[in-house]
Chains A and B, each alone.
Chain A
Amino acid sequence: MHIDNSQPLEYSTQQNQLNILGFWIFLGAEIMLFATLFTAYFTLADRAGSGPTSAEIFEITPVLIETFVLLTSSFTIGLGVHAMRLGRKNAMMAFFGITLLLGLGFLVTEILEFMTYYHEGATYQTSAFTSALMTTLGTHGGHVTLGLFWGTFIILQVKKRGLTPGTANKAFIFSLYWHFLDVVWIFIFSFIYLKGMM
């Protein structure tokens, strides 16, 4: 395996560079996936049928908590990648750990929010609006859930194997994924929640 030392660790082999480009292309596909979900949501947002409307069920408090927690986690994973570039393994693992804890906090808040909706009569099956809402939020939440497992696996590998081209590559790609989920959340926050509360 040829290692190019002029590059950061995560870019240092050819396979690493392929992995990163491939992941960017995958994120392109993910953008299309969420764009389609948003299109469906915007088309169906006002079609609540006999169920509740968005203004009736949206509450600002849990949404603000989720936004704050997730945006902070994007910052901490940035610090994690910075620590990784400085070669500070323990700091990197700590920042990744904080990121995942914040992600877990987001997820718990979102699940509680879903349960509130359920008790208010807004279920997955109630109307086109609730189906589209749950599917869009659920797809994002599902991504976060997957990310929690993935991130944990990466911390375990860094702990065991240290910062190698392989583990650094995985950690960097995971950070791309995590930032992407944050970007999607900004759209959800602005165009689903804020717009829906007005």
Chain B
Amino acid sequence: MEFFERFAIPNPSPAIYASMVAIALVSIGIVVGLTYFKKWGYLWREWLTTVDHKKIGIMYLVSALLMLFRGGADAIMMRAQLAVPDNKLFDAQHYNEIFTTHGVVMIIFMAMPFIFAFMNLVVPLQIGARDVAFPRLNAISFWLFFAGAMLFNISFVIGGSPDAGWTSYFPLAGNDFSESVGTNYYMLAIQISGIGSLMTGINMCTTILKMRAPGMTLMKMPMFTWSAFIANVIIVFAFPVLTVALIMGTTDRLFGTQFFTTDNGGMDMLWANFFWVWGHPEVYILILPAFGIYSEIIATFSRRNLYGYTSMVASMVLISLLSFLVWTHHFFTMGQGALTNSIFSITTMAIAVPTGVKIFNWLFTMWKGKIRFTVPMLYSVAFIPLFTIGGVTGVMLAMSAADYQYHNTMFLVAHFHNTIIPGVVFAMLAGLTYYWPKFFGFMLNEKLGKVTFWLLTVGFVLAFFPMYITGLDGQARRMYTYSESTGFGPLNMLSFVGAALMAIGFVVIVYNVYYSFKNSSRDIGSDPWDARSLEWATHTPVPEYNFARTPQISSSESFWDAKKNGHVLFKGELEEIHMPNNSGVPFILGIIFFVAGFSFIFGLWVPAIIALIGVFICLGLRSFELDHGHHISVKEIKETEEKLGGAK
């Protein structure tokens, strides 16, 4: 019995027991459903073993949407708790767990897979490649992310959730102050998915550098590909820092090392520094691809080429460099001294300059354009003013002297949600709507999409703008309640109403998918938006090999040139196409990493060592494996092309 006690929840509540039942029922439902409809084979052949970048992208997309609802449930619980003063809905411990998992889930397990989804779906098509450089590695990246996400999500029913904040500062996150296994979950789940992210970074950099179609020089790449490239370069240089920090945090907690302890020389601020040396570039890893998606959408729906292509690229390169030089601004109040704070104030404010350049470029793209206010364009148009407000409050926070007033208040919470929601979340939803027809063969309903857009925008403003005011009035973040005499009550109620509107908006998205699946036309052609870049030059749905012939590129908008100026994209005869083989190893590796992570979290050393040996066996087998892939014959290509509407 003693063995099993470690898996018990330290702070149980009826809601958690209800979740356990729900998780069990859903799991049984999935197993029964798959068996009843005889879909196990289909699932294994088409999805679990796939190395196709499009299918991996779709799996990232589905995971990101699921995690969006998980993180969203945390968000609505927090706003409900704070809606009225002295609320007793949750106690302090539960509130700590909720805001911690909200942060981690939204950044690591929602936003990251969302951008990886678009990188996987779009980048190989935009550069005219058959797949990414290392398709098998790509599958491993996904399954490591998925293993990490599942590991993190079972924490609240097995052993207890992390409760030290998504930043997990030491000494709070050390064994003395975080006794439950929750923070172990944090360390290992993020580690596993972080290794996956690093592999994606290497994979995408190689793909973009070496696999572009003939004629596509670096400065002729579509803007989303550029943004993905820069984001992946940042991933390669930022994620190893997180890897090391997490290893040190893990060994401090599990093996008694002294990195971040408060005696025997340990230095807790080292964690804060490492965390933000990764953490600040991380926000640019998220926002730059979002900027890329906006660039594609704004150009398409303004019917103009992107204004200031070169300055767009230059500003992204500058942002990527500056992103590594600002981390200290996350803890101005922790005693670095005036000189250090001043330097980091200036570097932080400097980021506003290239970002401003991008804002003006989007505005000039729209200037005198024939704008169509479709759902993706609405998100993009709302993004510009809302994100600018978030940027301006960011510059306010960057002033280190003034930051002593804002630090750890709701003002900060309002600021970063004001950049992340209109910046990243709106971009993801805009991208979802924009690319949906390319990968699923039907459009999402415009009217329902507009309902969602307005619910989210109005909900966002109501939810977060009041926090600027309560923050300036002194409402601290991460406090589970406040007294009536503070006067924060009405504005927090307003925030709750806004959060509820956003929740309704997300539910409408789900209904929209269902409604459009039932009712939308399947006869939409391959280019329903009249778009400009290469991903729209192939069929819908995209065949396994992407392009029957490799496209010939002459400008950054070759597809537009092909449509309007008679540029010939596809020349020459069909040739046999070489494709990689499917493999079950990535999925199995995901399971092994899950087992290893779980065993480390609970200090079960025997299964942990067995699982690690399993990893090395997989690596060894891969070394000896002879895998030359397979070829698609010209006859098969012709048949597929005819079925999809004639060879283009």
Which A residues have a C-beta under 8 Å from some C-beta of B? 1, 17-18, 21-22, 25-26, 28-30, 32-33, 36-37, 40, 43-44, 47-51, 124-132, 135, 149-150, 153-154, 156-157, 166, 170
Q: When A29-B239, A157-B624 are in contact, do A43 and B270 touch as well, CB less than 8 Å? A: yes
Which residue of the partner chain, among B209, B241, B245, B626, contacts A21 with CB atoms under 8 Å? B209
A43 near B236: Cβ-Cβ < 8 Å: no
- Chain B residues lying within 8 Å of A26, measured Cβ to Cβ, are 202
Query: How many angstroms from the CA of A28 to the CA of B202 in the assembled complex?
Result: 9
CB contacts (< 8 Å) of A154 on chain B: these are 623
Q: Find out whether the CB atom of B258 lies under 8 angstroms from the CB atom of A40.
A: no
User: Could you tell me the dominant secondary structure of chain B's interface residues?
Assistant: helix
Question: B210 touching A135 by the CB < 8 A rule?
Answer: no
B264 with A49: CB separation less than 8 A: yes
Interface residues of B (CB under 8 A from A): 133-134, 198, 201-203, 205-206, 209-211, 236-241, 243-245, 247-248, 251, 255-259, 261, 263-267, 270, 274, 277, 578, 616, 620, 623-624, 626, 628
Q: In the bound complex, do residue A30 and residue B259 qualify as a contact, i.e. CB atoms below 8 Å apart?
A: no
Q: Closest 6 A-B residue pairs measured CB to CB?
A: A47-B265, A49-B264, A128-B265, A131-B257, A33-B240, A32-B240
Contact assessment for B240 and A22 in the assembled complex, using a CB-CB cutoff below 8 Å: no
Name the B residues within 8 Å of A21 (CB-CB).
206, 209-210
Name the contact of B274 in the complex, choosing from A36, A131, A135, A156 (C-beta under 8 A): A36
Q: Which residues of A contact B263 (CB under 8 A)?
A: 49
> A49's contact among B265, B578, B623, by CB below 8 Å, is which?
B265
| Nearest CB of B to A34, in Å | 8
Residues on B with beta carbons closer than 8 Å to the beta carbon of A130: 258
Does the CB pair B202–A25 fall under 8 Å?
yes
Residues in B whose Cβ lies below 8 Å from that of A132: 259
Distance between A44 CB and nearest chain B CB, rounded to angstroms: 6
Known A18-B206, A18-B211, A125-B257; further 7 A-B contacts with Cβ < 8 A: A1-B628, A28-B237, A36-B241, A126-B258, A128-B266, A131-B258, A153-B624
Could you list 13 examples of A-B contacts with CB < 8 Å? A18-B210, A25-B202, A25-B205, A25-B236, A36-B241, A36-B244, A36-B277, A125-B256, A128-B265, A129-B265, A131-B257, A149-B616, A150-B623
Judge whether B623 and A153 touch: CB under 8 Å: yes
The reply to whether B267 and A43 form a contact with Cβ atoms under 8 Å apart is: yes
- State whether A44 touches B267 (Cβ < 8 A): yes
* Pair A126/B244 contact, Cβ less than 8 Å: no
Indicate whether A29 sits within 8 Å of B240 (C-beta atoms), given known contacts A18-B210, A43-B267, A47-B266: yes
Q: Are B270 and A40 in contact, CB atoms less than 8 angstroms apart?
A: yes
- Residues of B with C-beta under 8 A to A22: 133-134, 202-203, 205-206
Q: CA–CA, A166 to B616, complex, Å?
A: 21
Known: A25-B236, A28-B237. A128 touches B624 (CB 8 A): no
Q: Does A149 contact B257, Cβ atoms closer than 8 Å?
A: no
A26 to B209, CA, bound (A): 14
Interface centre among A17, A29, A170 (most CB of B within 10 A): A29
Q: How far is the CB of B324 from chain A (nearest CB, A)?
A: 10
Q: Is the CB of B134 within 8 A of A128?
A: no
Q: Which residue of A lies closest to B132 (CB)?
A: A18
With a CB–CB cut-off of 8 A, which chain B residues contact A150?
A: 623
**Alpha-carbon gap, A129 to B277, bound state (A):** 22
> Are B133 and A126 touching (Cβ within 8 A)?
no
| A18-B134, A18-B210, A28-B237 given; A48·B265 CB < 8 A | yes
Given A21-B209, A125-B257, does the pair A33, B620 have CB atoms closer than 8 Å? Answer: no
Distance A27 CA – B267 CA, assembled complex (angstroms): 29
**Which residue from chain B places its CB closest to the CB of A157 in the assembled complex?**
B624
Q: How far is the CA of A30 from the CA of B195 in the complex (A)?
A: 12
- Give A28 to B243 CA distance when docked, in angstroms: 14
Please name all residues of chain A whose beta carbon is closer than 8 Å to the beta carbon of B203 when the two chains form the complex.
22
Provide the residues of chain B in CB contact with A29, threshold 8 Å. Answer: 198, 201-202, 236-237, 239-240
Give Cα A132 to B209, complex, Å.
36
Task: Report the bound CA distance from A36 to B244 in whole Å.
Answer: 7
By a CB distance below 8 angstroms, the chain A residues around B628 are 1
Residues in A whose Cβ lies below 8 Å from that of B205:
22, 25
B239 partner residues in chain A, CB cutoff 8 A: 29
Q: Chain B: which residue is nearest A129 at the CB level?
A: B265
State A191–B626 Cα separation when bound (angstroms).
43
B203 to chain A, nearest CB (A): 7
A49 near B258 (CB under 8 angstroms)?
yes
Q: A149 and B620: CB pair below 8 A?
A: yes
Select which of B237, B255, B259 is within 8 A of A40 by beta carbon: B259
**Contacting pair B201 A135 (CB below 8 A):** no
Q: Chain B: which residue is nearest A45 at the CB level?
A: B265
In the complex, the chain B residue whose C-beta lies closest to that of A130 is B258
A196: shortest Cβ distance to chain B, in Å? 15
Least CB distance from A125 to B in Å reads 4
- Cβ contact within 8 Å between B264 and A18: no
Whether the pair B247, A17 counts as a contact (CB closer than 8 A) is no
In the complex, what residues of B have CB within 8 A of residue A37's CB?
244
Q: Which residues of A contact B257 (CB under 8 A)?
A: 124-125, 131, 135
A1 touches B264 (CB 8 A): no
Residues of B within 8 A of A49 (CB): 258, 263-265
Q: Give the residue name and chain of the A residue nearest to B207 (CB).
A: A18
| Closest A residue, CB atoms, query B259 | A131
CB distance from B623 to the nearest CB of A (A): 5
Q: Is the CB of B236 within 8 A of A128?
A: no
Question: Is the Cβ of A32 less than 8 Å from the Cβ of B241?
Answer: yes
Chain B residues with CB under 8 A of A30: 240
Distance, CA A21 to CA B624, complexed state (A): 21
Are A44 and B270 in contact, CB atoms less than 8 angstroms apart? yes
Residues of chain A contacted by B247 (CB below 8 angstroms): 135
CA distance A153 to B248 in the complex (A): 31
- The interface residues of chain A lying within 8 Å CB-to-CB of B616 are 149
Known contacts A22-B134, A128-B266; decide if A36 and B258 are in contact (CB<8 Å): no
Smallest beta-carbon distance B246→chain A, Å: 11
Partner of A36, one of B236, B240, B620: B240
Q: How far is the CB of A12 from chain B (nearest CB, A)?
A: 15
Q: Which residues of B lie under 8 Å from residue A127 when comparing CB positions? A: 258, 264-265
What B residues does A166 contact at CB under 8 A? 626
Q: Is the CB of B264 within 8 A of A126?
A: yes
CA distance A129 to B258 in the complex (A): 8
A41 and B250 CA atoms in complex are apart in Å by: 17
B259 proximity list for chain A (CB < 8 A): 40, 44, 128, 131-132
Q: Return B207 CB to nearest CB of chain A, in Å.
A: 8
Nearest CB on B from A133, distance (A): 11
By a CB distance below 8 angstroms, the chain A residues around B620 are 149, 153
Bound complex: CA A128 to CA B259 (Å):
5
User: Is the CB–CB distance between A124 and B255 below 8 Å?
Assistant: yes
Q: A140: shortest Cβ distance to chain B, in Å? A: 13
In the bound assembly, the distance between CA atoms of A131 and B206 in angstroms comes to: 35
Nearest CB in chain A: distance from B42 CB, A: 30
A78 to B623: give the CA distance in the assembly, Å.
22
CB of A131 within 8 A of CB of B251, answer yes
Max chain A C-beta neighbours (<10 A), residue from B211, B248, B626, B628 = B248
Complex Cα distance, B265 from A48, in Å, reads 6
Minimum distance in angstroms from A7 CB to a CB of chain B: 14
Given contacts A1-B628, A22-B134, A47-B266, contact A135 B240 (CB under 8 A): no
Q: Is the CB of A128 within 8 A of B264?
A: yes
